[in-house]
Amino acid sequence: MGEITIQLAKAAIAVALGLNSSFDLDQALKTYPELRKNGAAFVTLTTGAHDQLRGCIGSLSAYQPLYKDIIANAQSAALRDPRFKPLSLEELNKIKVEVSILSEPKPLAYSSTKDLKTKIRPDIDGVVLEYNGYRATYLPQVWEQLPHFDSFFSSLCQKAGLPADCLEKHPDIQTYQATKYKEQ
């Protein structure tokens, strides 16, 4: 199913940029009926030899058919990620697309930062951190760039708009896993 999710995301971006796409959605839905089931996906765009982030938007909860979630998030990652300018036509052939299909986030009970450290599984768990109306997530693959618990969580706290030491305030933590499909 991986290749079809990449093709779908790329076609959605092309259409959003005003290009025609030969992607056959009806055929894809017949061949891969799981795309019709509700699902949550993140679409990540990278560029360059070092796969620099170029856009990343997604859903944490499965509230619509997976194919619709992939289409919406691919287009948003290309055109509406507030960290980047909208993708240009010239950049289209220079990006790589990654689609991550998420499991449903589950609350993780912990008593202290030390306890949390024993329950989090680097490279496996994606993490949602929430405190006082502030919220952020990192996909499991972010562990590749931030492999140490302390740097991962201080960065996640800051992404949420909180101080780097926000774990001291005992924020709510949820974990999820992702099946990742990456364009080669």
Question: Is 72 a residue whose pLDDT tops 90?
Answer: yes
Domains annotated on the chain, with CATH: 2-102 (3.30.700.20), 106-177 (3.30.1490.150)
Per-residue pLDDT band for 26 (boundaries 50, 70, 90) equals very high
In this prediction, residue 173 carries a pLDDT of 98
d(C-alpha 29, C-alpha 23), whole Å: 11
Rounded to two decimals, what is the model's pTM?
0.92
Question: Is 45 a residue whose pLDDT tops 90?
Answer: yes
Q: Which residues pair with 129 in a beta bridge?
A: 136, 173
Phi and psi (nearest 5°) for 19?
A: -95, 160
Digit-coded pLDDT (tens) for 88-106 = 999 999 999 999 999 999 9
Q: Which residues pair with 58 in a beta bridge?
A: 42
Digit-coded pLDDT (tens) for 106-140 = 999 999 999 999 999 999 999 999 999 999 999 99
d(C-alpha 143, C-alpha 126), whole Å: 9
d(C-alpha 24, C-alpha 70), whole Å: 15
Residues in the chain: 184
50 against 172, higher pLDDT:
172
Question: Is 50 a residue whose pLDDT tops 90?
Answer: no
Neighbours of 118 (CB within 10 A): 8
In this prediction, residue 49 carries a pLDDT of 85
Contacts of 59 (CB under 8 A, 6+ apart): 40, 41, 42, 69, 73, 102
